[in-house]
Amino acid sequence: MLLIPAIDLKDGHCVRLKQGIMEDATVFSEDPAAMARHWIAQGARRLHLVDLNGAFAGKPKNEAAIKAVLKEVGAEIPVQLGGGIRDLDTIERCLDDGITYVIIGTAAVKNPGFLHDACSAFPGHIIVGLDAKDGKVAVDGWSKMTGHDVVDLAKKFEDYGVEGVIYTDIGRDGMLSGVNIEATVKLAQALRIPVIASGGIASLKDIQALCAVQAEGISAAITGRAIYEGSLDFKTAQAEADRLSVNS
């Protein structure tokens, strides 16, 4: 089980939101590149970047901070990026800059043809991000609910050739209320591609619970607020995940 630290970018700073509300942002660092170095030093094997301004604007807005992170990381570990990626030119630019995986969220739901084209043009580099509440998908920075069933949509995108699915329970994200294990497992069981869990990780118990169902197809978990506020020690958590993965 891979644990992936989240570096959420707003106005060039590393922040965390509660339930995706831009006005409810806590700044954790003025220097995202230094934060990236910190997580690598703690044993991170992949980083999760989100351009929050980009997600709301529909185009990248934190490019300077993203490039600073990529310069700091170099080729050490893969970096995945989401937020405001709406066209093939933007994907190409991200990959040229050194991003390994591009995450497409709202645009995948609103314009499935774009996702299909992206998977064809950049095979192995496209991850779809599905944010859901009560089994239904949300878009536009979680501000709008759709009628789409998350499992049905994920299966459709799997057929397009996405590399994996990041599943976020938006009722829990940033709330430290625990992962929605049941919903994450239900999605993973329906797919052949890996599911990355996101939203609500609060403590080592959540990591242990995810490791217990890893065999269902959950390959990784993204963690944010817990590792910034200290309720989860990243280094300890990754060591525990490795131990449980070996013993499972």
Distance separating alpha carbons of residues 5 and 44, to the nearest angstrom: 7
Neighbouring C-beta atoms of residue 57, cutoff 10 Å = 14
Distance separating alpha carbons of residues 150 and 138, to the nearest angstrom: 9
Distance separating alpha carbons of residues 56 and 52, to the nearest angstrom: 7
Copy the structure tokens of residue 86. Answer: 């709406």
Please provide the DSSP assignment of 145-196 as one string. EEEEEHHHHHHHHHHHT-SEEEEEETTTTTTT----HHHHHHHHHH-SS-EE
Residues 6+ apart with CB under 8 A from 7: 14, 32, 35, 36, 39, 47, 48, 49, 50, 69
Distance separating alpha carbons of residues 66 and 72, to the nearest angstrom: 10
Q: Which residues are catalytic?
A: 8, 131
